Amino acid sequence: MATVGKTLAAILLCCLVATATSYKRNTLVNRHHSHDHSWDYLLFVREWPAVACMSPDAQRHDCSVPNVVHNWTIHGLWPTKEHTEGPNYCNDDDKFDVNKIKSLIPMLDRFWPNLYSDESPSSFWKHEWTKHGTCAMSLAALGDELKFFSTTLKLNKKFNIDSALYDANIVPSDNRQYMLSDIKQAIGQQYNTEPIVDCLQGDNGQYLFDIRICIDKEFQARSCDGGSSHECDDSQPIRFPPIHNGTAKFIKGLH
């Protein structure tokens, strides 16, 4: 009986550890304060909202694609050091204030939305500012909250991946699938850089989740440090489902 009790306790501990260390899109978890706040380039991350709402993390929320969203959405602009991640959470004193970006809210709702309808619309922006914006502000062009969000919106227009994929005839479809090499080539030809592509793996194949472009401090595309894809099998086709505004269907086996 004691052995069974110890086994159950061990299983519970493992589950708690797994829960505590799992990735949360909006909430401030695993908060790691960087002592070295220097960084080398920016990682500009966009996600496909139809797939973002299929992810296991999203299934723990009321995830839905707002009616105003029809394109790739911004996940974040992340200062990054060569050969590593971060820095993160660089300035606790510079608190997020939604009033400072009030003029941007219509654009943010469309291009940088919080897909979790069970949270406040601004909670995602608060998370991105607190974790990444407070580190980006060491660059004058990103030196305050308004500059950080307005510049990111401008970069979203400059690096228009909707247009780049469309020009390569890579469009959302319930039937067509695409190879990773074609997706990377479409972005690469448009912006002269190889993107990082992230997929969600499921029982029915892999789904296009996010695309990341590395940008230097002059806001020009540059080569990325590290691998060219995350969780994508380059030998298998990739699903790119259309956006259906509203709650997305959970796809069995996604991870």
**For the residues 23-30, what does the mean pLDDT come to?**
46
Tell me the sheet residues that pair with 202. Answer: 205
**For the residues 118-137, what does the mean pLDDT come to?**
97
The pair of structure tokens assigned to 157 is 């227009």
pTM of the model: 0.84
Give the closest residue to 47 by CA, choosing from 173, 245, 207: 207
- pLDDT tens-digit map of 187-196: 999 999 999 9
Active site residues: 75, 128, 132
Better-predicted residue by pLDDT, 11 or 25: 25
Residues 131, 92 contacting (CB under 8 angstroms): no
Cis peptide before 87 (omega within 30 of 0): yes
Give the closest residue to 99 by CA, choosing from 137, 138, 144: 144
Identify the pLDDT of residue 229: 60
The domains located in the chain, with CATH, are: 34-247 (3.90.730.10)
- pLDDT tens-digit map of 182-216: 999 999 999 999 999 999 998 889 999 999 999 99
The answer on pLDDT for 155 being more than 60 is yes
**For the residues 49-65, what does the mean pLDDT come to?**
91
Task: Give the list of residues 6+ apart from residue 64 with CB closer than 8 angstroms, or none.
Answer: 53, 115, 117, 245, 246, 247, 248
Task: Give the list of residues 6+ apart from residue 98 with CB closer than 8 angstroms, or none.
Answer: 105, 122, 125, 126
Lowest mean pLDDT among 51-55, 66-70, 117-121, 245-249: 245-249
Tokens 């401090």 locate to 217
**For the residues 111-133, what does the mean pLDDT come to?**
97
Residues 30, 21 contacting (CB under 8 angstroms): yes
**For the residues 238-251, what does the mean pLDDT come to?**
74
